[in-house]
Amino acid sequence: MVHLGPKKPQARKGSMADVPRELMDEIHQLEDMFTADSETLRKVVKHFIDELNKGLTKKGGNIPMIPGWVMEFPTGKESGNYLAIDLGGTNLRVVLVKLSGKHTFDTTQSKYKLPHDMRTTKHQEELWSFIADSLKDFMVEQELLNTKDTLPLGFTFSYPASQNKINEGILQRWTKGFDIPNVEGHDVVPLLQNEISKRELPIEIVALINDTVGTLVASYYTDPETKMGVIFGTGVNGAFYDVVSDIEKLEGKLADDIPNDSPMAINCEYGSFDNEHLVLPRTKYDVIVDEQSPRPGQQAFEKMTSGYYLGELLRLVLVELNEKGLMLKGQDLTKLKQPYIMDTSYPARIEDDPFENLEDTDDIFQKDFGVKTTLPERKLIRRLCELIGTRAARLAVCGIAAICQKRGYKTGHIAADGSVYNKYPGFKEAAAKGLRDIYGWTGDASNDPIIIVPAEDGSGAGAAVIAALSEKRIAEGKSLGIIGA
């Protein structure tokens, strides 16, 4: 996740009266370039719906639309104690979730720092042993070792994995700096369960989940008005419930006891929307970001909306304006010319600068980049940050509108999580305004029929609720996925 720092009071915008004409001309050009108007958003949504549908066909498309094998809606009455683990890039999070059965839950958690070399160990057993040992330590802390009942565990594994059923995950490729041999192409569930069993821990892995699906299910548990789970963070993603009869690529593959009208949670992975560059309003800076990325032509939507790229877009514009002789003249921009030297905390802090003379912005550029700025330059920088952040929010909600229109949702709550949603100044307001513009809603925004709300903990509570639903299916002897899986 991107760390954006503490929230400050919303900054005062200030006057542009003292900005020289040549900089004002640039500001107007940037406004034209980075503004996504209502008509553009509606075009994006229309194409988005087509791409979502294409992803469910046997042929497939840019958007993977991965079945999550959660085939029930939580009722909010699920109860009991569940374990959840979330394997991140730097920490393992272990959570004890107590589902009340009354649409509420309590959590207790501990974090265990991954040893520095663990992500590239040559022996995959070391990773699973570390997780099993951490689980044992947690159970000792929580006095759970003497429990008579086996504790069901939900495993949030946010790495590309294919699933033919809820309690398996075949790793396709490592990401987030992991590169451990003999795991890709294998089901990670028995690899971990084997180490748990060696320690005689009363734990059974009953579900392997994606964090966005977890966000959907955890939020539905506490709020049945939930229609989607979305992440606006380092990446961007959405999850929702479709219906089996509309998922062509599952035709003929499902067990007989999974009816056509069964719900199915879908992990969209829609950061790859519009890889063909047909509708997204890309600027020359978006093109540069794409061309200089490790995977050009992929993740087109993510590169315009997610936290990983917003600071880089800002940096590219500033370097070009300097090269055109319009700002930061005669200074050494060596630091500023380093790709990705600006993460998303930079535009966030600049937008949050509470001072009329943008004093915090001046400090940032002097301390971090050794560059002095004039007040008119800071006003341009500030306006550029607003444009980049607002465009990201407005484009990001096109995925929400597309799924709501595809599924015929007229009302509902969209459960959102992620560092950009939670911490980027003005993002929530710009996202809500984007939805209003797509739908043409007028009047009091608090009465909007579809609203974005803060999500519940997807990788903790969500994993637990999914474990509860899976445990119930297992107890009832129901199928968990594809025939023979």
Distance between CA atoms of residues 1 and 316, nearest Å: 22
Q: What is residue 385's predicted lDDT score, i.e. its pLDDT?
A: 97
Q: Both tokens of residue 326?
A: 């319009």
Contacts of 348 by beta carbon, 8 Å cutoff, 6+ apart: 4, 5, 385, 389, 423, 424, 425
- Give residue 148's pLDDT band: very low, low, confident or very high (50, 70, 90): confident
Percent of all residues in the chain with a pLDDT value above 70, rounded to a whole number:
97
| Residue 451 backbone dihedrals phi, psi, to 5 degrees | -125, 150
Phi (first) and psi of residue 276, to 5 degrees: -85, -5
pLDDT cut 90: percent of the chain above it: 87
Write out the E strands in 247-345.
Answer: 263-267
E-assigned strand segments in 368-433 = 412-417
Burial class of residue 185 in the structure, from the number of CB atoms within 10 Å of its CB (0-12 exposed, 13-18 middle, 19+ buried): exposed
Q: What's the whole-number mean pLDDT along residues 431-439?
A: 97
Query: For residue 45, is pLDDT > 60?
Result: yes
CA distance 67 to 171: 15
Half-sphere exposure of 228 (CA within 13 A, CB side): 31
pLDDT in tens, 161-210: 889 999 999 998 888 888 999 999 999 999 999 999 999 999 999 999 99
Here the tokens at position 90 are 């730097």
Q: Which two tokens stand for residue 166?
A: 């809820």
Which among 86, 93, 134, 211 is annotated as catalytic? 211
Residue in 86, 134, 158, 457 annotated catalytic: 158
Q: What are phi and psi of 92, to 5 degrees?
A: -105, 125
- Are 450 and 34 in contact by the 8 Å Cβ rule? The answer is no
Q: How many CB atoms lie within 10 A of CB 194?
A: 13
Phi-psi region of 276 (alpha: psi -120 to 50; beta: other; left: phi over 0): alpha
Cα 466 to Cα 459: distance, rounded to the nearest angstrom: 10
**Band (8; pLDDT cuts 50, 70, 90):** very low
Which residue is catalytic, options 18, 37, 79, 173? 173
Distance CA 291, CA 285 (A): 10
Report the distance separating Cα 153 and Cα 165, nearest Å: 15
1-68+211-454 fold: Hexokinase; domain 1 (3.40.367)
149 is catalytic: no
In sequence order, the 6+-apart residues with CB closer than 8 A to the CB of 306 are 232, 233, 234, 235, 236, 271, 392, 420
Count CA within 13 A, CB hemisphere, residue 23.
22
Q: Which CATH architecture has domain 76-209?
A: 2-Layer Sandwich (3.30)
Q: How far apart are CA 395 and CA 398, in angstroms?
A: 5
Determine the pLDDT at residue 3: 45
Contacts of 320 (CB under 8 A, 6+ apart): 285
Q: Identify the pLDDT of residue 1.
A: 41
Q: Tokens in use for 468? A: 């509860």
For the segment 446-480, what is each residue's pLDDT rounded down to a tens digit? Answer: 899 999 999 999 999 999 999 999 999 999 999 98
Domain limits of the chain?
1-68+211-454, 76-209
With 60 as the cut, is the pLDDT of residue 10 above it?
A: no
Which pLDDT belongs to residue 13? 56
Are the C-beta atoms of residues 51 and 61 closer than 8 Å to each other? Answer: yes
Q: Does residue 2 surpass a pLDDT of 90? A: no
pLDDT over 90 at 11, yes or no = no
Q: How far apart are CA 482 and CA 410, in angstroms?
A: 32
Q: Reply yes or no on whether 211 is catalytic.
A: yes
- Taking the complete model, does pTM exceed 0.75, yes or no? yes
The overall average pLDDT reported for the chain is 93
- pLDDT of residue 12 exceeding 80, the answer is no
pLDDT band at 485 (very low <50, low <70, confident <90, very high): low
Assess whether pLDDT exceeds 60 at residue 139. yes
pLDDT by residue (tens digit) across 221-271? 999 999 999 999 988 999 999 999 999 999 999 988 999 999 999 999 999
